[in-house]
Amino acid sequence: MSGPAAGARRVVLATRNAHKVGELRAVLEPLLPGVEVLGVDAFDDVPEVAETGVTFEENALLKARAVAVATGVVAVADDSGIAVDVLGGSPGVFSARWAGRHGDDAANLELLLAQVADVPVQHRSGAFVCAAAVATPAGEEHVVRGELRGRITTAAAGGGGFGYDPIFVPAGSQRTLAEHSAEEKNAISHRGRAFGALAPVLAAVLDGRPIHEATGSEPLV
């Protein structure tokens, strides 16, 4: 592995998605002052991680473990998606490839809207879900979950955000997430909530304390 030297006050985000790197930096940096937040592209020879888990938590841990080992740096990862109640929680972990090709946001939105086209507005509820994980090169790990409830719209609106943001209206709002500013979104989003909960654990790890001491639970590994 080559890239930035490992250090006690840096973490690497286990993603190559530039939108997600920017969003997570904006969430984490105010919570972890003085900590350098790097994207995985700052390192050479980090392998792609197959998301073979059947839950958001499993996939987040798979990515965090692999990137921590490959880089020698404390790694954080998330797996997130949209869960539509009338579809039994789908797309769920398949959100990014719901239409068949990974990361094709336009096709994913079009397919999901078509699948709920005949569903009355009162039954278009769902949630954005995020599992956020931290893993150390020594093999310690922890995962938390954040959710944002809301409803699916009948048409896309807004030019901000990414993914399913243009068709999701958070509970208590009349605007889609894509119509929120980045600051507004980060304050309420599933990722903001998950990484807000993860930040104290991550801070403890960077201060040299074991994860299980920071969480009050036994180690997962």
Report the catalytic residues.
79
Would you list the domain boundaries of the chain? Answer: 10-215
* Region 10-215: CATH code: 3.90.950.10
- 4 has a pLDDT exceeding 50: no
100-135 burial: b if 16+ Cβ within 10 Å, else e: eeeeebeebbeebbebbeebeeeebbbbbbbbbbbb
Which residue bears the tokens 């569903």? 119
What three-state secondary structure class fits 184?
Answer: helix
Q: Given this model, what pLDDT does residue 208 score?
A: 85
Q: Which of 198, 216, 193 is nearest to 146 (CA)?
A: 193
Give the model confidence (pLDDT) of 112-122 as tens digits: 999 999 999 99
- 127 has a pLDDT exceeding 90: yes
Give the model confidence (pLDDT) of 162-219 as tens digits: 899 999 999 999 999 999 998 899 889 998 899 989 999 998 898 888 777 777 655 4
Q: Which residues pair with 149 in a beta bridge?
A: 127
- 7 has a pLDDT exceeding 80: no
